[in-house]
């Protein structure tokens, strides 16, 4: 999320009531979680396991719960509760905006777009030429839908990211301030859900076709001309290449990368990154020819009574 205007890290720290280690005059240009950070961004880290990842990331500013050596060109904000302070910042720069009408403020909707009855369009939404949105669809704040896209009945585009921190009192939600971009010629099936980025973009690439009842998590990037069958579930922060096919009920863990042209057969479970250009099957999935050989051996073993 870009925060606009000019905000020094010193001013950010003052707003939070925290102290800076490093150059207080450096300019903060954005706020992002670790998977999508860019130079000028502020990121948080609250566990030693992830200190190095945050400190060595592209982020220029690290909201951290321990004073450590400051990498060159960066600054730290020391906080006993980095998660809470991060949420305080995202709510400041991207506050919740109540809406009592079916179409929000500052929307740009092409004259040729067709919005069916009972569609909810949030604030700052952009809808391109010849887009069709079927009844009951929810289009969240900041969503971009490019030309010729089709959004099926009761689809939900841009709901909150599923991102929580467990505390003794329960689960605290990370405030979502990202959005969704649906590129041209994409089709989204009935009842499918695409979550907003935590602080960046969840993107569905040009020409991709998504069946009914598919779930795509926050900050996931889906490439061009992919095909996802019903009940596919993709967790957050995944990178899916171009021309990837996932058949019914495939499940994908968070942070996975899948190469161009990969095919994942039905009911497979993806636990780690996969190379492109291959066919996969099973849970945890592997190349289908390997899995089929394993199943054949198990069948023979069963038939032989384990002998």
Is residue 237 situated within a structural domain? yes
Q: Provide the pLDDT for residue 303.
A: 73
Q: Provide the pLDDT for residue 306.
A: 55
- Residues spanned by the domain of 275: 108-291
Instruction: Enter the pTM of the model.
Output: 0.92
Q: Provide the pLDDT for residue 305.
A: 66
Q: Are residues 186 and 277 in the same domain?
A: yes
Annotation says 218 is catalytic: yes
Q: Are residues 15 and 86 in the same domain?
A: yes
Q: Are residues 118 and 233 in the same domain?
A: yes
Q: Are residues 82 and 192 in the same domain?
A: no
Q: Are residues 144 and 25 in the same domain?
A: no
Of 35, 134, 175, 218, which is the active-site residue?
Answer: 218
Is residue 300 situated within a structural domain? no
Is residue 307 situated within a structural domain? no
Q: Provide the pLDDT for residue 203.
A: 98
Q: Are residues 253 and 130 in the same domain?
A: yes
Residues in the chain: 307
User: Which stretches in the chain have pLDDT values below 70?
Assistant: 305-307
Is residue 26 situated within a structural domain? yes
Q: Are residues 140 and 87 in the same domain?
A: no
Q: Are residues 173 and 265 in the same domain?
A: yes
For residue 10, the domain's CATH number is 3.40.1390.10
Q: Are residues 61 and 188 in the same domain?
A: no
Number of domains into which the chain is organized: 2
Is residue 225 situated within a structural domain? yes
Q: Are residues 231 and 257 in the same domain?
A: yes
Q: Are residues 284 and 203 in the same domain?
A: yes
Q: Are residues 136 and 78 in the same domain?
A: no
Is residue 143 situated within a structural domain? yes
How does 259-296 read in b/e, with b if 16+ C-beta sit within 10 Å?
bbbbbbbeebebeeebeeeeebbbeebbebeebeeeee
Q: Provide the pLDDT for residue 302.
A: 73
Q: Give the separation between CA 204 and CA 1, rounded to whole angstroms.
A: 18
For residue 254, the domain's CATH number is 2.160.10.10
Is residue 305 situated within a structural domain? no
Q: Provide the pLDDT for residue 33.
A: 86
């Amino acid at each position: 999320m870009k925060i606009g205007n000019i905000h020094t890290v010193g001013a950010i720290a003052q707003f939070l009531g925290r102290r800076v280690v490093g150059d207080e005059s450096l300019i903060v240009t954005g706020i992002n979680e670790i998977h999508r950070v860019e130079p000028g961004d502020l990121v948080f880290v609250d566990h030693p396991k992830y200190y190095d990842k945050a400190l060595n990331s592209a982020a220029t500013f690290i909201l951290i719960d321990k004073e450590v050596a400051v990498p060159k060109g960066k600054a730290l904000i020391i906080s006993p509760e980095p998660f809470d302070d991060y949420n305080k910042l995202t709510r400041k720069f991207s506050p919740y905006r109540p809406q009592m009408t079916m179409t929000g403020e500052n929307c740009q909707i092409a004259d040729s777009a067709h919005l069916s009855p009972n569609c909810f369009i949030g604030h700052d939404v952009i809808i391109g030429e010849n887009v069709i949105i079927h009844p009951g669809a929810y289009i969240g704040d900041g969503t971009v839908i490019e030309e010729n896209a089709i959004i099926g009945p009761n689809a939900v585009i841009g709901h909150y990211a599923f991102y929580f921190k467990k505390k003794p009192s329960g689960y605290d939600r990370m405030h979502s301030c990202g959005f969704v971009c649906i590129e041209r010629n994409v089709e989204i099936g009935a009842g499918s859900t695409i979550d907003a980025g935590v602080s960046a973009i969840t993107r569905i690439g040009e020409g991709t076709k998504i069946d009914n009842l598919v779930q795509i998590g926050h900050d996931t990037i889906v490439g061009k001309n992919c095909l996802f069958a019903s009940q596919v579930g993709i967790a957050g922060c995944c990178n899916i290449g171009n021309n990837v096919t996932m058949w019914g009920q495939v499940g994908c863990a968070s942070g996975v990368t899948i190469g161009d042209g990969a095919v994942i057969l039905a009911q497979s479970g993806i636990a780690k990154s996969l190379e492109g250009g291959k066919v996969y099957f099973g849970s945890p999935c592997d190349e289908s020819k390997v899995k089929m050989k394993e199943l054949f051996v198990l069948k023979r073993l069963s038939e032989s009574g384990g002998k």
